[in-house]
Amino acid sequence: MTVTRFAPSPTGLLHVGNIRTALHNWMLARKAGGRFLLRIDDTDAERSREEFVEAIRADLAWLGLAPDGETRQSARLAIYDEAFERLRAAGRVYPCYETPQELDLKRKVLLGRGLPPIYDRAALALTDADHARMAAEGQAPHWRFLLDHAQPIEWHDGIRGPQHFDPASLSDPVVRRADGSWLYMLPSAIDDVEMGVTDVLRGEDHVSNTAAQLQMFAALGAAGFGEGNMPRFAHEALLVGREGKLSKRLGSLSGQALREAGIEPQALVALLARLGTSQPVEPIADRAALVETYDLGTFGRAPARFDEDELARVNQGIVHQLSFDEVADRLPEGMDAGAWLAVRPNLEKVSDAHDWWRVVTGPIELPVFDQETRAFLSEAQGALVWSDNAWATWTAALKDSTGRKGKALFLPLRQALTGQDAGPEMARLLPLLGETTVRRRLRRAAGED
């Protein structure tokens, strides 16, 4: 069974880049009839916040990306300890004592020589006596994973194709801090093994992480942790905004901010589902249709640009498809299905319905009409015969009696009845206004009331 996972760190709000990753993992699982898991990567106790955990859940619920299971890394520390001890016994993790300042100096020296800033493995030369001395001085080590330089790293990426890394070009990654807390790399690999994750789909900024983690998977299997199975990997191009790379701190593009701004979840899903692929972005509300056309083979390598104007366009298209039942709890009191259908074609957001309902219920602000227009509106009162087809018969009669047509005929009537130059079809609005309101507004516009 295909098993995917979304593994956010609860150190900030999800932005559209994170949401896109979650969505694509959800779609990958759904298309294969598999499982989509949520894993909260909260090993960074200092920066993780419970409010962000709740925000992550709220965003996924709003988008309809219900996980088939949820777990938290903070509840899995014993599992990491067991795997770590197996790797230590196998010689695949080793203690180091350099301070951040010492490591920074080493990097600067290497860069100054025109060399890549790769860790020199100096800690491997420490003797038992050195370790004893460090312990006696109260220095706790941090731990690195020992990459096997004799084993080239290769995999077929689901988006990027064949990938090749020389492990000697990578630093042995630090996997555990001196205080015993965990960094991202090893716990993530342990979880993927232990949770049976079959497919890891994430941003291309994780490609070098994958290279190191592939050796971690192999080492865990050799140490008897799990069955030695490795997930399939795919790395999608990063999502960029108008100002470059997206950030968790770019609040205007967070799921919460977009929700509060009136963006429909179907619109965000429709946009992000195909952004960065060769498939057209369209206001498709049917999740099943999006899932059916989901294909990693359509993903491109170039960064995908998130455009808020494009989101607004897609959102408008989605709003125009929403039924009354889907929005009833967000509409103003008294607005029924007929009123919703009348104003829907003119809405960008559902909340705009409130503005048009105020036009219906009044009061409205009228433009200043000249004497000729007021005379026309006065004549219009007498020509109005109320019926189920009032607008068509009324305007036809006025056309015959006044000779007016087109804008000269329709615009003054719209302005007199709505105070607006454009809007929903008047044939739909007239029944909502009712005969009494229509005649009262005509009299006022003609200067007779």
Beta strands in 74-220 (DSSP E): 93-96, 142-145, 153-157, 161-165, 174-176, 199-203
For the chain, the 3-state helix, strand and coil shares in percent, each to the nearest 5, are 50, 15, 35
248 is in an annotated binding site: yes
Amino acid identity at 190 = I
Number of C-beta neighbours around residue 328 at 10 A? 12
Three-point CA angle 286, 289, 290, nearest 5°: 90
The span from the CA of 108 to the CA of 300, in Å, is 36
Closest CA to 350 of 334, 327, 329, 323: 327
Counting other chains too, the contacts that 267-270 makes at CB distance below 8 Å and 24 or more residues apart are 267/311, 267/314, 267/315, 267/317, 267/318, 267/319, 268/16, 268/19, 268/63, 268/311, 269/23, 269/63, 269/64, 270/314, 270/318
Question: Which has the closest alpha carbon to 14: 259, 310, 196, 354?
Answer: 259
268: left (phi over 0), alpha (psi -120 to 50) or beta: alpha
Token pair of 312 as six digits: 């607004």
Q: Give the integer Cα–Cα distance in Å for 416 and 445.
A: 6
Query: Which of helix, strand or coil describes residue 263?
Result: coil
CB 354 within 8 Å of CB 422: no
Residue 295 CA to residue 272 CA, distance in Å, equals 14
Binding site per annotation, positions? 248
Binding site per annotation, positions for ATP? 248
